[in-house]
């Protein structure tokens, strides 16, 4: 009973926060609602017995992606008046998409039927006497090892591409050269002059 109440509570908060991510006009508020959405999704993972996925969701998305996105949004010079001017142009398109999604959800609710023994027929999240992390590791590194390595390679290429795109060589900007610094000698670093009395400045 308590698990059911917690499930509906977390689901309702997550859906409301996800709606506010799209509906909020302030990008900073959208990011904060996105953090709330991730927290409630992590709570649902805990209810399902997937504690490892819940921690990964919090550490990766909330701790890295959302915080980075929040800093990017705060650094942008956003003209909110200009954002509000173009809302009327896309009002009909947005209303059409919303009506289409509402019709799809209504069709799903009409066609959905509850099976009395559906909960008993579901497999357990993890095998017996095996932790969630160990079971997930077994699946990733046995059945899906090639997909897992391919995903890591794609992320590595994306990281290198982002570094290459942001690394710009601007003319006239002095940069540090480690090779030139290591090659310097005392004769290149200082110059001794014999200054006569009365001629120094």
DSSP per-residue string spanning 131-191: -HHHHHHHHHTTTTHHHHHHHHHHHHHHHHHHHHHH----TT-----HHHHHT--HHHH--
> CA-to-CA distance for 57 and 59, rounded, in angstroms?
6
Q: Are 132 and 50 in contact (CB under 8 A)?
A: yes
Buried b (16+ CB within 10 A) or exposed e, 71-80: eeeeeeeeee
DSSP, collapsed to helix, strand or coil, labels residue 6 as helix
Q: What's the whole-model pTM score?
A: 0.55
User: What's the pLDDT at 195?
Assistant: 79
In tens, the pLDDT along 30-79 reads: 888 888 888 889 888 888 877 888 888 888 888 877 777 777 776 766 66
More confident position, 55 or 82: 55
CA distances from 149 to 64, 77, 155, 156 (A): 21, 39, 10, 10
> CA-to-CA distance for 123 and 135, rounded, in angstroms?
14
User: What's the pLDDT at 39?
Assistant: 87
In tens, the pLDDT along 106-124 reads: 876 776 665 555 555 555 5
Is residue 128's pLDDT more than 70?
no
In tens, the pLDDT along 132-180 reads: 778 888 888 888 999 989 999 999 999 998 888 877 766 777 777 888 8
Is residue 7's pLDDT more than 80?
yes
Fold adopted by 1-79: 1.20.120
- Quickly state the pLDDT bin for 185 (edges 50, 70, 90): confident
């Amino acid at each position: 009973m308590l698990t059911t109440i917690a499930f509906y509570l977390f689901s309702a908060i997550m859906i409301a926060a996800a709606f506010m991510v799209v509906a909020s006009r302030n990008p900073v508020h959208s990011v904060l609602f996105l953090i709330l959405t991730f927290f409630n999704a992590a709570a649902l993972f805990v209810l399902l017995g997937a504690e490892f996925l819940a921690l990964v969701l919090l550490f990766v998305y909330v701790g890295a992606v959302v915080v980075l996105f929040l800093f990017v949004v705060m650094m942008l010079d956003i003209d909110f008046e200009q954002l509000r001017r173009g809302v009327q142009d896309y009002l009909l398109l947005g209303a059409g998409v919303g009506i289409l999604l509402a019709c799809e959800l209504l069709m799903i609710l009409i066609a959905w039927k509850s099976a009395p023994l559906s909960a008993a027929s579901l497999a357990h999240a993890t095998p017996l006497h095996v932790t969630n992390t160990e079971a997930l590791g077994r699946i990733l590194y046995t059945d899906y090892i090639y997909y897992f390595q391919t995903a890591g390679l794609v992320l590595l290429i994306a990281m290198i591409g982002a570094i290459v795109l942001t690394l710009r060589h601007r003319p006239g900007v002095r940069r540090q050269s480690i090779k030139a610094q290591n090659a310097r000698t005392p004769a290149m670093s200082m110059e001794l002059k014999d200054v006569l009395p009365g001629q120094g400045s």
